[in-house]
Copies of this chain bind each other. A is one copy, B any other.
Amino acid sequence: MHDPFETEDDLLLPDAEGAAERPRSITLKDVARLAGLSPITVSRALHNPKLVKPDTIARVKEAAAAMGYIPNMLAGSLTTKRSQLIAAVVPQLSNSMFAETVQGLNDELSAHGYQLLLSLSNYSRQKEEDLLTAILSRQPDGVVLTGITHHPAVRKKLLATGIPVVETWDLTPSPIDIAIGFSQERIGEQVAQYLLGKGYKRFASICARDERAIRRREALEAELARHDIAPLATHLATPPTTLNLGREALRAILAAGHAPEVIVCSSDVLAQGALIEATVQGISVPDQLGIMGFGDFDFSAHTHPPLSSVHIDKRAIGVQAARSLIARIEGKALREKVIDVGFRLIERGTTRTIV
């Protein structure tokens, strides 16, 4: 097969001074002219080869390659009403669990010919709403949101466009369209029960200023309350949660004179920070202090001692979101609009093993 570029020895270099004068781009028409066909035949040869004679296809492909033809999807999507674009809004990428979800989402979308338009809301409802308008103006085939609480206009706009939507990292009986996540409340409750079962009585927590983390903590405290236990202290940390925030939080809690038996963290990153701080201060974990994390990061099994945590399949949330969206776009009926990916308490070395 011949090199499609061998005749191109006159490539234009981008212009260093001022706006680059882009060469007028090659269109379907140009290819058609070279191949001696009509534009529509070229279009079909490229996207719907069954309708075209094999040698015509060959002629088209050769012409397209020779000219370095790249289709203009803006124009295509304008007619077909399909953009092959999925938009996702997550709070943050640095130091967050969402990077894994975005990775999963991307991988699955990519495998199905979709592309990802990514926006970061920085945990701001207003920002999310602003982003959404810009997003919808790109006519995405689907939208992935983080969480279930949004600016009221978000729900309204999304319902008005009728576009498939997945809300992630949480569950709700009344999703905008589809929800894929897990119950914060059940986690809080089960963590409480687990730790109570271990005989812990004096609780503290280090919690990110993140709506879901807060709901988990509230559920935990509610369960403690049912056992007549009030938490000693809660330290709030603004995301992104870093290891140092965990260290500082534990330091602050201890400096305030609290002596918790166990400390519940809203992220393993914070938990690892607490673990290091405890180690540095000569507090033995788990003998003198238990530490419970969240997220089961891939470092969590390998700290010393390894972190007890709550496992969430962060990647699966993204993969599943992509699948549901694609199914919806392709008109397949969904088995369920609310998918619970669950969670698993992981007992490791930072919580005591004997009661």
List the interface of chain A (C-beta within 8 A of B): 5, 8, 11-23, 25, 68, 70-75, 77-78, 81, 83, 85, 92-96, 99-100, 102-103, 106-107, 110, 115-120, 131, 133-139, 153, 156-157, 159-165, 177, 242-244, 247, 269, 272-273, 276, 279-280, 298-299, 301-304, 315, 328-334, 337
Most buried by B among A74, A95, A115, A244: A74
Docked-complex contact B119 and A16, CB < 8 angstroms: no
Docked-complex contact B315 and A23, CB < 8 angstroms: no
Docked-complex contact B298 and A242, CB < 8 angstroms: yes
- Cα A100 to Cα B162 in complex, Å, equals 34
Docked-complex contact A298 and B18, CB < 8 angstroms: no
Residues in B neighbouring A159, C-beta threshold 8 A: 11-14
Contact of A70 among B13, B14, B137 (CB under 8 A): B137
Contact of A102 among B15, B93, B138 (CB under 8 A): B93
- Cα A19 to Cα B226 in complex, Å, equals 47
**Beyond A8-B160, A242-B302, A272-B299, 13 additional pairs, beta carbon < 8 A:** A13-B162, A14-B163, A14-B165, A19-B331, A20-B162, A22-B81, A70-B133, A107-B120, A115-B117, A116-B118, A242-B298, A243-B299, A244-B298
Docked-complex contact B72 and A74, CB < 8 angstroms: no
Docked-complex contact A299 and B21, CB < 8 angstroms: no
Q: Knowing A118-B116, A328-B20, A333-B18 touch, does A302 contact B279 (C-beta < 8 A)?
A: no
Residues in B neighbouring A332, C-beta threshold 8 A: 18
